[in-house]
Amino acid sequence: MSGMQTLREHMLAFYGKYTTAVRIIFKFLLAFAAFYWIRSVIGYQAIPSNIFVLLVLALFCSILTVKVTPVICGCLLTAQAFGLGYEAGAITVVIFLLLLILFLRFVPNDSLILILLPMAMALGAPEAVPVCFGLKRKPSSILSVSSAVLIYYLIDTLHNAPAAFKSLTDAGMTERLGVLTNGIFTNKDMVLNLLTLSAVLLLVYAVRKLSFNHSWFVAVILGALLYPLMEILGYFVLGTSFLPIPVFIGTAVSIAVALALMLFIFDVNYAGSESLQFEDDDYYYYVKAIPKVAVKKSSVSERVSMPKSEAGSEEVPSIREKPTVVNDREIKEKLEDSLKNL
């Protein structure tokens, strides 16, 4: 475990040193992955499917705020839908307008959910996204989760539409519109996924807010297990599709991803937790103080300086910093100081 924490320190140090470059590369890769996925699933138009165009757009996204990426994804999706036919394009525009007016303007900072969840669903690990975002976001993020699920099924319907159109005896515009709207709105899998993934996010949020030890870990496990459970229920009750092996692999991947994220955002030492009780004129205070896991910085510095000395280059003295020792008395003193200021 301490190896993981040392790795985390290295990664944080690296991020701190090259913040701008890391952010630009991350945004570029994210945008390009999303654009490329749209192209590979519904590449009906030549220009929005051109790799050079996608690279240029991803470059734009890399220097702009991450909120721009879902907007460009939406434009690409609409353009590809118009390649399938005017009715498909119109349905796509209407659905995007509805999502924007009814849901997305209330959660303007959830762009990452809109980009990541449809891709995670395509990769077979949809619960990874609500589990991870349940650890950091508020319950209002279910609006973004619901929108992302709807967008995934819109893309899926557009992907299957050419085959469905071929099966039509009279392929007029009305019939084609009917095929598209039925494919999206009467899809039991969509309803099940929409409810399940929203429930996963709410469950993770609710459990991690509880004050018992290891609540975050329990939240991740419960959230990730809720998805296969609901899929099994859906299979028996609603008759939805259920493939056990991919679903359980997806759950394992989701747990691994969420635990890796937890290492960065909530790494605490429960063994050192303390429960304090005190009062002032107005309130009684019940405080639970849990120390963060501290990695001795000297061990990180030593490891960083090792390869240079082994290579025979000029010996670089290792930077030995005073190790940060979490002292119980220090915590108490700090708490008492802060309480005096209440």
Partner 1 sequence: MVDEARMEVMIRLAEYESGSGKEAITIQKYHRRDYIALDMIKNFFLITIAYLLLLGLAALVFMSALTGSLNIINLTAFAAWILIGYILMLAVFLTISYFHASRRYREARKSVREYESELKKLDVLYRRKSS
**Residue 184 and residue 174: Cα distance in Å, rounded?**
16
178 binds partner 1, rule: CB under 8 A: yes
Structural tokens at position 234: 């859906």
In angstroms, what CA-CA distances link 325 with 271, 291, 295? 15, 11, 9
In angstroms, what CA-CA distances link 195 with 110, 127, 189, 202? 18, 12, 10, 11
**Residue 133 and residue 110: Cα distance in Å, rounded?**
9
Residue closer to partner 1 by CB (options 175, 267) is 175
Using CB under 8 A, pick the residue from 45, 181, 215, 305 that binds partner 1.
Answer: 181
Residues binding partner 1: what is the number (CB under 8 A)? 15
Q: How far is the CB of 315 from partner 1 (least distance, A)?
A: 37
168 binds partner 1, rule: CB under 8 A: no
Structural tokens at position 90: 């119109």
Q: How far is the CB of 32 from partner 1 (least distance, A)?
A: 26
86 binds partner 1, rule: CB under 8 A: no
Residue closer to partner 1 by CB (options 98, 316) is 98
101 binds partner 1, rule: CB under 8 A: yes
**Residue 58 and residue 137: Cα distance in Å, rounded?**
26
In angstroms, what CA-CA distances link 94 with 37, 100, 118, 162, 283? 22, 10, 19, 20, 53
173 binds partner 1, rule: CB under 8 A: no
In angstroms, what CA-CA distances link 166 with 90, 160, 161, 172, 323? 20, 11, 9, 12, 70
Measured from the Cβ of residue 170, the count of other Cβ atoms closer than 10 Å reads 6
Residue closer to partner 1 by CB (options 21, 97) is 97
Region of 15-23, 30-38, 92-100, 191-199 interacting with partner 1 (CB under 8 A): 92-100
174 binds partner 1, rule: CB under 8 A: yes
Region of 89-97, 150-158, 239-247, 289-297 interacting with partner 1 (CB under 8 A): 89-97
Report the interface residues with partner 1, using CB under 8 A.
91, 94-95, 97-98, 101-102, 106, 174, 177-178, 181-182, 185-186
